[in-house]
Structure 1
Amino acid sequence: MSQAVESQASTTSDFISLLRSEIEQGLLDQTLAILEPKINEMLYSNVFNCTEAIEYLKISDSTLRRLIRDKEIPYFRLRGTILFRQWELDDFISKRMIIKGG
């Protein structure tokens, strides 16, 4: 192969590599731009106040208050507000599942 052809092939190869790298980075940036708000929403929407926990668990206010009072349900306080993590509520539910077997 002549030196000119090798040089051109090298330049073309470098160009393709650079172009591929820029496309990959662009796709990563676009994907992150799309997913980041959804990820943040999921992270922060997984904390419920009492009203949301009542709706999520489909129980009455008095039942939730009794569960809190008797320390049967996991919760935490933030500046006096009682809050619940969704995954802990899911765990609370799964531990109380009654499986009918035969």
Structure 2
Amino acid sequence: MNQTMDVKECAEYLHVHPDTIYTMVRQKELPHFRVRSRIFFTKYRVDQWIADQDTMTAI
């Protein structure tokens, strides 16, 4: 089951400040979706993004 996170939960999950999450969303660096004006993330997509970042640094 896909766990959905809000900005605060995603920031805690990634061990960064919520402002960092907002910046990454603005720059379209982190996969997210919106419901009205709220920003959400799925744990599955964030985990995929982390794996992709790990792969990119290994190159």
- C-alpha RMSD of matched pairs (Å): 1.4
Tell me the CA shift for residue 79 of structure 1. Answer: 2.7
Runs of 4+ in structure 1 off by over 4 angstroms are none
1:70 aligned partner: 27
Greater gyration radius: 1
In structure 2, the gaps of 5 or more residues are none
Higher relative contact order (CA 8 A, sep 6+): 2
Give the structure with the larger strand fraction. 2
Give the structure with the larger helix fraction. 1
1:55 aligned partner: 12
Q: Secondary structure at the match of 1:96?
A: helix
* Alpha-carbon distance between aligned partners in 2 of 1:85 and 1:79, rounded to the nearest angstrom: 17
* TM-score normalised by length of structure 1: 0.50
* Alpha-carbon distance between aligned partners in 2 of 1:51 and 1:63, rounded to the nearest angstrom: 11
Matched length: 56
Listed one character per residue, the Cα deviations across residues 51-101 of structure 1 (whole Å, up to 9, x for unaligned) are 1000111111221111001000010011321000111000111111144xx
